[in-house]
Structure 1
Amino acid sequence: MENHIQVKKPKTMAFVLIAGAFVGLFSETALNMALSNIMDEFSISPATVQWLTTGYLLTLGVLVPISALLIKWFSTRKLVIAGLILSIIGTIFAGISTNFQMLLMGRVIQAMGTGIILPLMMNVILLIFPMHRRGIVMGMMGLVITTAPAIGPTLSGFIVTALHWSYIFWISFVFYLLLLIFGVSKIENVSDITKPKIDFISIFLSTIGFGLFIYALSTMAEKSLSSLLVLLPLLTGILALVIFVWRQFKMTEPMMNLSVFKYPMFTLGTVLLFLGMLVILSTGILLPMYLKGALLFSAAMAGLMLLPGNVLNALMSPIVGSLFDKFGAKKFLILGFFLVFVANLSFVLTITATTPIWQVVTAYMILFLGISMIIMPAQTNGLNQLPRNLYADGSAVMNTLQQIAGSIGTVIAITLMVSGQNLFVDKFPESTSEELLAAGTKYTFVFIMTFALIGLFFSLFVKKKQINKYT
């Protein structure tokens, strides 16, 4: 008999949490299609505007580690209400923004709401569904995690063309409000409220560590690694993270229980999830800029070009989820990373300022066919190995590194694109802006292809879940 918590309507409860997470993750990349518009409107550079994505992801990366603590301090319903209210406040703030600083602040507040809902979703689903039914539910969750940020540029492309980028936030506001009004009543309290001691030093270390590390990577888009503006925050951030990890292992009640890494398949699943999210978010910021800036498509048309890949991912994720228990994670992960490698190789070989659009669309479809076989299998196989008392901690660790991967992917994409453009203009000083952007994009995909190869290698060592004990 599976040990799980009985609730009246588990599917409805899961739907509310998944819907809330979907809107939040959609917002991760929804502005990508509007970045050039925002750059013109607020007169800012690419390195500055990318903070609208990086800042959102960084806030998630900073807040999610605290999620395991919040789940043990507050009821499930209170956390859902808090997450939705913060999201609503953030969307209002961003929607009425009249300058970049105000827009960024709205993004950060909205990310705080998502940072509460996202790990709560994963933890609750693990608690209310037995292991033999998790495949399809985790497949739906994987669909949210991959489709929401992937479809962001597609939907926002139409919004930006037909209306104004601020309507991206007003549409999100409506969905958040509906969930708050109609969804919260469906939420039952399922977490064990133990109220462990709050370690403010750990919170400080994780915030400073992740924050400075991502800030240093972001600054590399405009400064060299040897610059103090890069080197000082980078070393300080790494030092803070090292101390944070050391402190967690020394504490009897750590803020983030890193003992989950004692389970090899959880560790491997987290690494593969990290690489998968890195690919998704780096591609998610690159292709909209390339389609608009190099191939000169409108925002709506550029979004439409990304739609087939997103639809394929949406169709495949539930299928992979339903077949997961039969075939296991290994076969899906190997095939998934191989397809991601093929897609990136195609980008590297074909991207120019005059590439036929069908080649870009085809490669993008192959990419997300592969992605649909990576996220859910990596997550589920890893989390299934943990005992029940470590679900919240495992979810917090995975979600933290998932958002950090998104931040790093976004930063790396912009930094490498700028570097690629600089190298190209040195060789071809007379090149057009379209040729420059295409060269920078192509240069970046070489590195993304490398991440796919690393994932393919690690996926060879995946084993099926081994643990079925609950404590």
Structure 2
Amino acid sequence: MSQQQTAVRGASAQPAAPDERIPLKLIGAIVAVGSLAFIGILTETVMTVLFPELMVEFDVDTATVQWITTIYLLVVAATMPISSFLKRRFRLKTIFLAAVVLAVTGSALMIVGHSFALILVARVIQGVGSGVATPLMMNIILEQAPRSKVGRLMGVGSLVITVAPAIGPTVGGAVSSVLPWRAIFVIVIPIILLVSLPVGLRCIEQQRPTEDARLNPVQFVAIVVALSGLIMFLNQAGVAVSAAVTGGSALRSGLIAAVSLLVGVGSLLFFGWSSHRSFSPLIRLGWLRDPVVLLHLLPYAILPMVGIGFGYVITNLAQMSLGTNAFVAGALVLPGALIGAFFAPVGGTLYDRFGPTRPIMGAFCVAILGPILLLVFSMHLTPAMLAGFYFIFGLCYALGFSNIMTSALSGIDRTFTPDGNAVFNTSLQFGGAAGTALFSTILGVAQAGAGEEGSEAFRHATAVGGTWTFATMTLICAVALVSLACAFRLRARRG
């Protein structure tokens, strides 16, 4: 045999290089499921702008109308933990169809519902749909994306998470100013049925077989009670603090908050204990023993407090301290939110090229300048300064945030990726709810006893509340940076 023949035969024996191109069907699947998740998150934040109108229409007070958002967050947070079970037990297309049915049904009820109770039922149905769709999108990316493109596609997925809550107040204000608020859901249904559904049916592919996974009812109840208790604690603690500062009775809400905290923490501990002892746990938690993963999970849970909370803080500061109208206040968030979110895939590309450390640490070392500058100038802010300093944070937050989850899950076995996805997405949802509750409480405490809204004293008190809020945001970003630095240092030591 000649040397040339040997060389040819040896070359043919080499394993073929994996195809690293992104399949068109994968892009279609991400668009289909991502649009569902986007609509779910968008309608969540749209509703917060509509509270005054809804209070008049349904004749309810502020504490009652907040349940439109609170019950939605409760249901989303309770649904996300079962995404790992759903992914193992059912085909991806089946899960997608269920999410479509839930989204359309919930939106239809929002259109025809003329009682507050029916509106709450609609929000529960929508919450289940959103709680199914968001982890499904991430699971499809993590399972089917080429290894060298995971960061880029996770950045695209984070577009959904970062754009929707940021533009929600602006969309809600714009639509409700020219149309009835129900028109938002009239617009949503055709998008789901004419875009999301046909694209998803054509493009979503099953690449892994399903398993004979079983839903552990005790663990499911435990995690639902735990998350519901913790979110209820945040909600009622804020009500109690605000009532105490304004001289009202805080006993009832304070008692509910304390009981909710005890029940939530107790149920969470029980869930963790039973998961380790169960043969078929709802979420497999063994991978959380790795301290590197835990040091990623902490910032992924607390940074959304700032990222999502900014939408509430800027719009309220602009109106109550700087005197802008609702539309201008919502528009201040748009530059940082939109441009930052569309740069999220760039952050993923940097991750694919340079690894996690430099893209993540670089992004958040710059991002923290946003709340620091807002803190320094908090008593002398203008609308342009609010928008500009938030732009710094929004751009860099979007560049780095999705990479945290990608970096964490890259260090665990792919078998446990659905479990990691469930835990990280639930943490993100909980962090966003916690941030809004925390910052609304801080502003409420600062405004207590400051007189009528619109007065000079009230505006000054709101600015002081902004100072406290930006200090808290800076502290949260600093804790996240330290945690990430420790994670990367520990990973580097392992080699």
Q: Same fold (TM over 0.5)?
A: yes
Distance 1:101 1:295, change over 3 A: farther
Distance 1:149 1:304, change over 3 A: same
- Report what 1:235 is aligned to: 262
- Report what 1:397 is aligned to: 423
Matched, 1:105 2:117: no
8 Å contact from structure 1 (residues 33, 289) kept in 2: no
Distance 1:345 1:7, change over 3 A: closer
Q: Which of 270, 281, 285 is the matching residue for 2:297?
A: 270
- Report what 1:92 is aligned to: 108
Q: How many residues are aligned here?
A: 463
Measured in 2, the distance between the counterparts of 1:111 and 1:324 equals 32
Unaligned runs of 5+ in 2: 1-16, 242-249
Measured in 2, the distance between the counterparts of 1:287 and 1:59 equals 27
Unaligned runs of 5+ in 1: none
Matched, 1:130 2:142: no
Superposition pairs of residues 151-230 of structure 1, within 5 angstroms:
151-178=167-194, 179-224=196-241, 227-230=254-257
Cα deviation, residue 150, structure 1: 1.6
Measured in 1, the distance between the counterparts of 2:491 and 2:27 equals 27
8 Å contact from structure 2 (residues 340, 394) kept in 1: yes
Measured in 1, the distance between the counterparts of 2:336 and 2:79 equals 31
Measured in 1, the distance between the counterparts of 2:62 and 2:450 equals 17
- Report what 2:287 is aligned to: 260
Measured in 2, the distance between the counterparts of 1:465 and 1:447 equals 27
Measured in 1, the distance between the counterparts of 2:19 and 2:120 equals 43
Measured in 2, the distance between the counterparts of 1:327 and 1:158 equals 41
- Report what 2:14 is aligned to: none
Distance 1:190 1:27, change over 3 A: farther
Measured in 1, the distance between the counterparts of 2:491 and 2:204 equals 31
Distance 1:246 1:2, change over 3 A: farther
Matched, 1:440 2:465: yes
Cα deviation, residue 286, structure 1: 2.3
- Report what 1:461 is aligned to: 486
Q: TM-score, normalised by structure 1?
A: 0.90
Distance 1:42 1:298, change over 3 A: farther
Cα deviation, residue 183, structure 1: 2.9
More relative contact order, 1 or 2 (CA 8 Å, 6+ apart): 1
Cα deviation, residue 328, structure 1: 2.3
- Report what 1:385 is aligned to: 411
The one-letter amino acid of 1:13's match is A
**Deviation per CA, 1:161-196, whole angstroms, max 9, x where unpaired?**
222332232222232222124432322223431122
- Report what 2:133 is aligned to: 117
The one-letter amino acid of 1:71's match is K
- Report what 1:326 is aligned to: 353
8 Å contact from structure 1 (residues 274, 405) kept in 2: yes
The one-letter amino acid of 1:281's match is I
Measured in 2, the distance between the counterparts of 1:191 and 1:218 equals 40
Distance 1:282 1:101, change over 3 A: farther
Cα deviation, residue 12, structure 1: 1.6
- Report what 2:3 is aligned to: none
| 3-state SS, counterpart of residue 488 of structure 2 | coil
Measured in 2, the distance between the counterparts of 1:165 and 1:438 equals 31
8 Å contact from structure 2 (residues 105, 125) kept in 1: yes
8 Å contact from structure 2 (residues 296, 483) kept in 1: no
Cα deviation, residue 246, structure 1: 0.8
| 3-state SS, counterpart of residue 254 of structure 1 | coil
**Deviation per CA, 1:410-453, whole angstroms, max 9, x where unpaired?**
2212222222222x639x9x855444444434433322221111
8 Å contact from structure 1 (residues 53, 410) kept in 2: no
8 Å contact from structure 1 (residues 425, 436) kept in 2: yes
The one-letter amino acid of 1:135's match is G
Measured in 1, the distance between the counterparts of 2:138 and 2:130 equals 12
8 Å contact from structure 1 (residues 47, 414) kept in 2: no
| 3-state SS, counterpart of residue 373 of structure 1 | helix
- Report what 2:336 is aligned to: 309
The one-letter amino acid of 1:463's match is F
**Deviation per CA, 1:82-132, whole angstroms, max 9, x where unpaired?**
001101111222233334443333222111101111111111111111211
8 Å contact from structure 1 (residues 161, 299) kept in 2: no
Q: TM-score, normalised by structure 2?
A: 0.86
| 3-state SS, counterpart of residue 372 of structure 1 | helix
8 Å contact from structure 2 (residues 450, 458) kept in 1: no
Distance 1:100 1:375, change over 3 A: farther
- CA RMSD for the aligned pairs? 2.8
Measured in 2, the distance between the counterparts of 1:84 and 1:464 equals 43
Measured in 2, the distance between the counterparts of 1:88 and 1:436 equals 43
